[in-house]
Structures are given as structure tokens and as C-alpha cells.
Structure 1
Amino acid sequence: MASTTPAGPFWYVARVRSCQEKNVAASLSSKAVEHYLPVRRVVRRWSDRRKVVDALVLPRFVFVRCTPQERLEILASEPRICGFLATAGEVSTVRDSEMEAFMRMVESGAGVKVSDAPLAPGDRVRVLDGPLAGIECELVSVAGGRCLAVRLGLLGTATMDLDIQTVERI
């Protein structure tokens, strides 16, 4: 992210109240403000059925493209927006190229999962998919974001190719 300058429109990251992302997006649409709410299609399972739903990629955030003056007007007129993401006291912007790449990644449907706390050696993880689904182990190393070396309890260290998306921190 880069800090703002007083020129034309920028992508800003609006922090919104909990569970108000879609309402804020609808409000911005009605005001003809360019915005982006990243969602992905996921299958939710209940005991009696499965359903494909749109899940938020970044809960509590909506991307807004506007000028600095419009940003202030949006903040004043939209009570569900708590503020805009800032670094060192300055409102941050997202470069157009970064935003386009992020949009392409989300819209590709490749199972984008954003984590504010990346996996690190020593973390306890659970395998979510594949033949080892449900197994809990200790993460030993991560190489290139795909190859995970894990320690399975007393069995020692086993190295396996896993997509980082198929494990979760516990």
C-alpha cells in the first residue's frame, strides 16, 4: 500500500461495521461510487443439506475507488463505515495494478483465503482435505507456499506436498 497524494481517484480500504459489508456495497452502488466487495463461492454444509453461498474474502472490509474529497463525503454520509485503513496516521491507498491483480485472483475462483497471521514453524495445524483430512500435527517448515513439512506426534517428521489452503491453524 502506498500513502495518499492529493491527485485523482484511488482505491481505499473502508473498514465497516460487522455484517454490514453487503449493505455498504449496496449503498455505494446507489450513490454510483465505484467499489469492490470480494466474495467467493463456497459450499456450506448443514446436517440435512448443502448450499452454494457467497462468502466474504475479507470480512469487515470494502474497497472504494474515489478522490480524497469523495472519501471524506462517503465517511460522513455512511454510518456503517467506521473509517479507512491507515498506516502511520495516513490513510492508505491500494495501487490500481495491485487492485486489478487482487480482483483477478478472487474472480478466478481458485479458493482465495486471506490470513492476517501466516503459518509459521511450530504452529499446530489440522489437515482439512485429502487422505489425511482431520489429522492434527505440528508444522515444521513451509517451502514456496505449497510444500509443508509436518511432525505427526511421536512418529517423527513426515514431509508431504500439501496446498497451504488445505490446512488450518488450531
Structure 2
Amino acid sequence: MNWYVVYTKPKWEKKVAEKLNEAGIESYCPLITQIKQWSDRKKKVEVPLFNSYVFVRLSDMERNSVFQVPGVVRYLFWLGKPAIVREEEIVEIKKSLSDTNISDVLVMPYKKGDKIKLDTGAFSNHQAIVKEVTNTHYILVLETLGCVLKIKYKKESF
């Protein structure tokens, strides 16, 4: 059985993962805790690490069964085939999210085209290419995972 990536409707990730599990399909939606601020209060909320993505583990023959769940849009494709995520990568994401020793992440100024190796977080030990640098964020391409990361930072941290 392989891990596949299912694309969901926006903001439906947790609902889709819950319904897939209820339907007997193993799913994983990595969540991180963020502090959200409204005009009258602040609150800690769990948000998906990957917007509109849920990982599902099933055999190739069972792949169409995910479309019985409301909110599932399609599979993520890579090079014309459904993207397969290795078990080690899922384990690494789970391990990184459960690591309580991470207190701060230092962002160093990179420039477009730099090849970097990520040291911490969910994508530690992955190679990335800096695609874009702005005043508020970096855009990184992780070719081995077939995804793009947008990392926000505060300018005064330099």
C-alpha cells in the first residue's frame, strides 16, 4: 500500500481526513498550532501544515474510494502519475511535528537560485532551491517531494 496525496476543497482538510478515517481509509492530515488574532481576542488553533492536502494510504485498486467522501477534489499528480509519498517521509513529518525541542527557527538571508539543505522542521534533511525572496517570505522548491514551500519571516530578524 502506498501513501498518496489527495487535494481537498479549501479549509476542508480536517473534515476530509476525519471522514476518510470513518470510511476505513487510513489518512493523515499533519496539523500545527498557530495563534490567530481577531479584533477582540487571540486563540490557539490547529491548522493543516499543507493547505488543501491530505495523505491517504491505500492500494492502487482502492484509489477511487476516496471520492465517496465530500470535499475530496482529486489526487495530486507528479510527472503524469498520482504522486506517491514514501513511508519514511510520512514518518519524518510525524516525528518533526512531535519534536518539542524546537524553540526557534533562524532564517538566514538567501538569494534566488541558492541551493539549501533544510535543517529543522517537517522538511529537515531535504534539498531545496530558493525560487523567490521578498520582504516577507521565501519561496522554496523541494524537487524530491514535488512541492513548493512559502516560508514567512520577519524582516527585523536579520
TM-score range, shorter chain: 0.5 to 0.7
Q: Which runs of structure 2 are paired with 1:89-108 in the superposition (5 Å)?
A: 89-108=80-99
Query: Aligned in 2, Cα 1:43/1:79: closer, same or farther, shift over 3 Å?
Result: closer
How far off is 1:32 after superposition?
Answer: 2.1
Structure 1, residues 81-109: CA drift from partner, whole Å, max 9, x if none? 11111112111211101111012122326
Identity %: 26
Q: Which residue of 1 aligns with 2:153?
A: 166
Unaligned runs of 5+ in 1: 1-8, 128-138, 140-163
Give the SS at the match of 2:17. helix
TM-score by length of 1: 0.60
Give the SS at the match of 2:24. coil
**Distance of 1:60 and 1:167 partners within structure 2:** 25
Bigger Rg, which one? 1
**Distance of 2:88 and 2:122 partners within structure 1:** 20
Q: Which residue of 1 aligns with 2:134?
A: 124
Asked if 1:14 corresponds to 2:14, the answer is no
Asked if 1:84 corresponds to 2:84, the answer is no
Q: Which runs of structure 2 are paired with 1:7-156 in the superposition (5 Å)?
A: 9-75=1-67, 77-108=68-99, 110=102, 119-120=130-131, 123-126=133-136
**Distance of 1:89 and 1:126 partners within structure 2:** 33
Unaligned runs of 5+ in 2: 106-120, 139-150
TM-score by length of 2: 0.64
How far off is 1:69 after superposition?
Answer: 1.3
**Distance of 2:35 and 2:64 partners within structure 1:** 38
Give the SS at the match of 2:83. strand
**Distance of 2:13 and 2:20 partners within structure 1:** 11
How far off is 1:23 after superposition?
Answer: 1.6
**Distance of 1:118 and 1:28 partners within structure 2:** 34
Query: Aligned in 2, Cα 1:10/1:120: closer, same or farther, shift over 3 Å?
Result: closer
Is the CA contact 1:40–1:107 (under 8 Å) kept in the aligned structure 2? no
TM-align CA RMSD: 2.9
Give the SS at the match of 1:125. coil
